[in-house]
Amino acid sequence: MKSQSKKDQSAKRKNNVQKFMQRDQVFDFLTPKATPKLDLSHNVILYLEDISVSFDGFKAINDLNLYIEAGELRCIIGPNGAGKSTMMDIITGKTRPDAGMAWFGQRINLLELSEAEIAEAGIGRKFQKPTVFEMLSVEQNLELAMAQDKSVWALLRTKITSEQADHIDEVLQSIGLIELRNDMAGKLSHGQKQWLEIGMLLMQKPQLLLVDEPVAGMTHQEMDRTAELLTSLAGKHSVVVVEHDMDFVRSIAKKVTVLHQGSVLSEGTMDHVQNDQRVIEVYLGE
Ligand code: ADP
Ligand code: MG
């Protein structure tokens, strides 16, 4: 990946120089580039390689390497301050690393894109606190999430195409709120609001979903339903879940990554990481 991309870059530069010599050509490298299409030919959707970031001299992320496969559901666990949220901030462009590389598929260099461009390219993030519009219906929240112009006035004026209506129905079905579509979002339970927010992310058709602590504050029943929802999204999407609740992680996880002091401490099945002596020491020391 690393040497490959260096080679690509130098080939590209040479190519650009050659183009400059041919003055009769249109210099397409000077025109603003659209986000390249996501290339999953190696079946890997996210590469984080040797990523480090410091805050006032403190290394929050330290030589982090993480690879997420296309369609995978990955859980990230780790004690407080391990760097989980900072890792998400790097993937979404909110924080820029001091070193390392971050690729979305084979061709999209996340470190060259703005936060908005990263979202546009197909990475959606759900924060812990739901931010649904309480005064709008469940369905209107989904419509708003899909709209380019995010004002309620634009929403009221916009006609939904039949394709969009189908997509809304599909999302309502998968988040289990189809019967509550006309209810005010403000009336939903905490868990239902979390699902609605996942639905709002799905309206953008993201390829990769980042979900930070989805079951905090949920009832057991809501947790089970959330486990089903996230499991059903995998395959169609790649999903990365950061979660503290071990029972929940056990209920959904195929592969678990344990972060500690900004690096990967252990990775594998839940059984594997729970029996890893280094993981046990870190959690006992909490
Ligand atoms: P986690 O989500 O695993 O609990 P975080 O990624 O939030 O951990 O934080 C990792 C470490 O980096 C913590 O020690 C935190 O205090 C520090 N940190 C995170 N963001 C900032 C920031 N913007 N400025 C300074 N320190 C930060
Ligand atoms: Mg966090």
**pLDDT of 172:** 98
Within the chain, which residues score under 50 in pLDDT?
A: 1-2, 20-32
Q: In whole angstroms, what is the distance from residue 209 CA to residue 254 CA?
A: 16
From 53, 64, 86, 257, give the residue whose CB has the most ligand 1 atoms within 8 Å, as the site to mutate: 86
Beta-bridge partners for 267:
257
**pLDDT of 29:** 47
Q: In whole angstroms, what is the distance from residue 208 CA to residue 238 CA?
A: 5
DSSP 63-76: EEEEEEETT-EEEE
From 55, 89, 92, 125, give the residue whose CB has the most ligand 1 atoms within 8 Å, as the site to mutate: 55
Using the mean position of ligand 2's atoms as its centre, give its distance from the Cα of residue 7 in Å.
Answer: 36
Beta-bridge partners for 54:
59
Identity of the residue numbered 59: K
**pLDDT of 189:** 95
Using the mean position of ligand 2's atoms as its centre, give its distance from the Cα of residue 86 in Å.
Answer: 7
Under 8 Å between Cβ of 78 and 258: yes
Q: What is the largest CA-CA distance in the chain?
A: 68
**pLDDT of 26:** 47
pLDDT tens for each residue of 94-144 = 999 999 999 999 999 999 999 999 999 999 998 777 789 999 999 999 998
**pLDDT of 286:** 65
Using CB distances shorter than 6 Å, the residues near ligand 1 are 55, 60, 78, 80-86
**Prediction pTM value:** 0.85
Q: In whole angstroms, what is the distance from residue 70 CA to residue 81 CA?
A: 28
Using the mean position of ligand 2's atoms as its centre, give its distance from the Cα of residue 79 in Å.
Answer: 9
Q: Burial, 141: exposed, middle or buried (Cβ in 10 Å; 0-12, 13-18, 19+)? A: buried
Give the phi and the psi of residue 115 in degrees, each rounded to 5: -55, -45
